Structure 1
């Protein structure tokens, strides 16, 4: 565990191993600890960085809800890489972490060596579909404010992170500001991504199978891998299969 003062907050992160850098971002209401197995599996060949987003785990939870957004999350990734002296990295994440990884690649293509997008989606062009998603995000925020951390969901990455969170209010702010989406910049930008991209999804992750297939078609040259027996936490549900696919992709990249 390490901490860095960046963009006005204290960010909790872990960096292990040596070699080309792989930065991994967690899903909503999980923490950096969901990537512990990838630290172990990749550490002999890669420098793996995981971190907890604003409002999550041991990272600060600002009181001002305006301090939570997808662009600020992208800025936090940029600041963390700068703090660690990293100029270019494989950028990856699961669920919300995958969405902000796409945003990072579009904002900082020169810093993105490759993308790994897991059990995620690119957002919506339809304003009605986006509002339906955002309404669910607001409902999650309200439940956290009413019931506290007991309102967290039942998915594996969330269950295993529940005891690591410090602020139900921070998670509520993150739901409204980071999980909720504005505009269609990410989905509209998929065809502009020009780095090697691996998309991983569990075969039981029904809500995200179609979005992952869509991204694989829209991102030039993207590779789609479906993990059998995995749900929305493919790296936790089937770690050996996940790590095998991930290492095969990383080892295939041109030299850093």
Structure 2
């Protein structure tokens, strides 16, 4: 199995195709396999790299909770790129992966030729009280995952949540495959990720000054039923100087799984416009 080293933590990755690199960064309740429909499509013309985050087998699952958090998630993207000899790439993230990709690009703007942020912003709020409640919920959820794992009720609760049930309604077979993958995740890795990364990360609203200086071409993608992310995406559209917003109707959080054809088409058009130097208006 191919692994990239990130300060002693091994990160499993898969490569497909050749051409300009595209690095895919997955969400919390998924792993590198989430991107199969995208890798199959974009691997025809691009060098696609999808990796499993720390805590997600076959990547290492550190037992030390201090080895999880937003700083590690951002640095891991750089570690995979460095190992693969990639200096600059299109970055595509979903949810937790979008947050890591955005943080990585804020710290390394020259490393991204284009940025796709799908379902970004859950847990971000302008309200300190709302954010504190989110942190408490993440801490409790993390402890439950460490204690119980994904084999039982927690997977069912996640898959049938208000921002994910859309996949089951649209694509029962795809939903069954998604749930089967989810049940294979590490309870320890997911639990520590939930506690230390999801629960303790910054609010995107806190980055406003830095975001206003970020000129990397950016596509924001969000489902109109992904309620926890709508406010953050409108904020990012208004704040990022070189961003466009694509909203998928009747769609929840896992936008690339629910609407793979539409998502691929939107991202392909975005890449093409960027590569032709025509993304920025004015």
Using the size of structure 1 for normalisation, the TM-score is 0.92
In the superposition, relative to structure 1, how do residues 187 and 129 fare at CA in structure 2: closer, same or farther (>3 Å)?
Answer: farther
Measured in 2, the distance between the counterparts of 1:160 and 1:192 equals 42
Q: Which residue of 2 aligns with 1:242?
A: 263
Measured in 2, the distance between the counterparts of 1:18 and 1:182 equals 34
Cα drift, residue 90 of structure 1: 1.2
For the 8 Å contact 1:19–1:45, the answer to whether it is kept is yes
Deviations 1:7-44 (A, max 9, x none): 21121111111111111111113101000110011111
Measured in 2, the distance between the counterparts of 1:127 and 1:229 equals 30
Q: Write out aligned runs for 1:1-256 (5 A).
A: 2-121=2-121, 123-124=124-125, 126-149=127-150, 150=152, 151-152=154-155, 153-154=158-159, 155=164, 159-165=179-185, 167-184=186-203, 185-254=206-275
Cα drift, residue 125 of structure 1: 5.0
For the 8 Å contact 2:5–2:83, the answer to whether it is kept is no
For the 8 Å contact 1:201–1:208, the answer to whether it is kept is yes
Measured in 2, the distance between the counterparts of 1:173 and 1:112 equals 28
In the superposition, relative to structure 1, how do residues 242 and 91 fare at CA in structure 2: closer, same or farther (>3 Å)?
Answer: same
Using the size of structure 2 for normalisation, the TM-score is 0.84
Measured in 2, the distance between the counterparts of 1:44 and 1:182 equals 35
For the 8 Å contact 2:135–2:199, the answer to whether it is kept is yes
Cα drift, residue 231 of structure 1: 1.1
Cα drift, residue 187 of structure 1: 4.6
Deviations 1:137-163 (A, max 9, x none): 112112212322122321468625324
For the 8 Å contact 2:69–2:201, the answer to whether it is kept is no
For the 8 Å contact 1:201–1:212, the answer to whether it is kept is yes
Measured in 2, the distance between the counterparts of 1:69 and 1:13 equals 20
Measured in 1, the distance between the counterparts of 2:27 and 2:2 equals 20
Measured in 2, the distance between the counterparts of 1:244 and 1:74 equals 27
Paired residues in the alignment total 255
Unaligned segments of structure 1, at least 5 residues: none
Q: Considering only aligned residues, what root-mean-square deviation do their CA atoms show, in Å?
A: 2.0
Larger displacement relative to structure 2 (93-102 or 148-157): 148-157
In the superposition, relative to structure 1, how do residues 111 and 72 fare at CA in structure 2: closer, same or farther (>3 Å)?
Answer: same
Cα drift, residue 130 of structure 1: 2.4
SS at match of 1:192: coil
Cα drift, residue 228 of structure 1: 2.2
Measured in 1, the distance between the counterparts of 2:101 and 2:65 equals 22
Query: Higher Cα Rg: structure 1 or 2?
Result: 2
